[in-house]
Amino acid sequence: MTSATKPQSLEPFCWGVIRLATYVANRDSRPRLAFGSVSLLTADRPRPVTGTGVDEHWVGKGRRERVYFRRTVLDASDAIDWYRSALTTPIPSDPREVNAALDGKPIAPSSFADDPAWPVFGVPAGSDLLSNPGGPGDPAPFMGSVAGSMRMHRRFGDNTGFERLTADAAAIGFLKRRVHVDLADYSEYLGSLALVIPDPVLRRVQHFVVPSDGNDMEKLVYRLVPRAGQTLNDLSLTILERRADLLSRFEMIRVPDDGLIIVPCIQPVQASGYIVTHPIHGVLAYQAPVPFVRSIQVSLGIVGRQVRVESPRSDSPQSATASYDIAELSHEQPISIGEPLPQPAITRIVEAEVRRGKRAQARRYDQTWFDHGQRSAALAFIRSRIGRARRYVLVADPYFGRLCNFSTLFRGLRLYLRF
């Protein structure tokens, strides 16, 4: 890729690490792209070394299909050229690392759909602007915990014909350890490519709150630390503030030369985040609004008597018994560290949100939760469930992994169901 066609936002990078997984259906077929990622490295990172040889794994029991993995290191420009074509296996830039039997070999052609349009790059986000990526909805699981400071581009290819591969758990595990994505779960990435671009300007963004001392307002503090040899010129910081499910602040501030931004707050901060943008590189860093830890409450319990619970291992009358010990707490002492939000109204709103979240999760997993002071409702619920039984009742203990007959666990059950 010439300097005239290379996007300006990709110029600060020196090296690219390509992780390529290919799939071969039989001896006579050409290797297919299973998944490939190109990770660019900033100038302050040393050049890594190309992997030795190739890793391979048989797919299924017929030993006709295989998956291969190889990691190669290229100049950043060559790595981007390969990302835009992917017609052959990549050739390392260092001639001493080239393996003639593995590198430069044809790959079955495929058509790709860019997302977003080239050369626009995006920062992984959650399901909406006010949530962070992660969990089952993570759009880029192969980026790990640094996704908020990384940008990416994707080229989605043909993901059909991989049914035998995704049905083989061992093969999927083999690839997951090397390309860092579960291709059975993230099937949209089968036959696709991803370009991972680190932040070339910022080393880190520090974000914290300075509590009020009684005479002054609370303050939000942002400290942007550049990489070696970089400046903070032309950077903008957008402050995101959230209060009880309301976006209450969306303010853009030019980043000063020292990278320190102090924002006074009329009210105590409930949840705060930020977006850092650059006129050439676009979005560099993103943090959805998150609350600050102001106080921690724990309970110190003193273990009293031990109770042994025995239950049959199966429904058979001659079943062997299983036993385990549980402990009663004879004394419990609450311990509080820090100071909570000083506004009772905000605390009430947050607590109500937490309760609604618990109820939603309970409905999703068919669970029933009871708050403090709902002893009568809890007992009525248990009686209604027991009263429907015609033969026996099983109690599944989620803490000890036991499935036990109710009649033999009644004494132990009383210890767990204290309302």
Q: Residue ranges per domain, the chain?
A: 8-197, 202-290, 295-416
The rounded distance, in Å, linking the Cα atoms of 139 and 154 is 11
**220 with 290: CB under 8 angstroms?**
no
- SS3 assignment, position 129: coil
What pLDDT is stored for residue 294 in this prediction? 78
**72 with 18: CB under 8 angstroms?**
yes
pLDDT along the chain (419 residues), means of 10: 61 90 86 93 88 90 86 94 91 93 90 90 72 62 63 91 91 93 91 91 90 82 91 93 85 94 87 91 87 81 80 78 79 77 68 78 78 83 82 64 43 35
Q: At a CB cut-off of 8 Å and minimum separation 6, what does 206 contact?
A: 221, 222, 223, 224, 225
What pLDDT is stored for residue 408 in this prediction? 41
| DSSP β-ladder status, 32-42 and 192-198 | parallel
What pLDDT is stored for residue 128 in this prediction? 63
Smallest CA-to-CA distance from 138 within 282, 166, 150 is with 150
The rounded distance, in Å, linking the Cα atoms of 216 and 228 is 36
Name the amino acid, one letter, at 204. Answer: R
What pLDDT is stored for residue 83 in this prediction? 95
The CATH class of 202-290 is mainly beta
Q: At a CB cut-off of 8 Å and minimum separation 6, what does 146 contact?
A: none
**34 with 165: CB under 8 angstroms?**
yes
What pLDDT is stored for residue 142 in this prediction? 74
Residues linked to residue 309 through DSSP beta bridges, in sequence order: 324
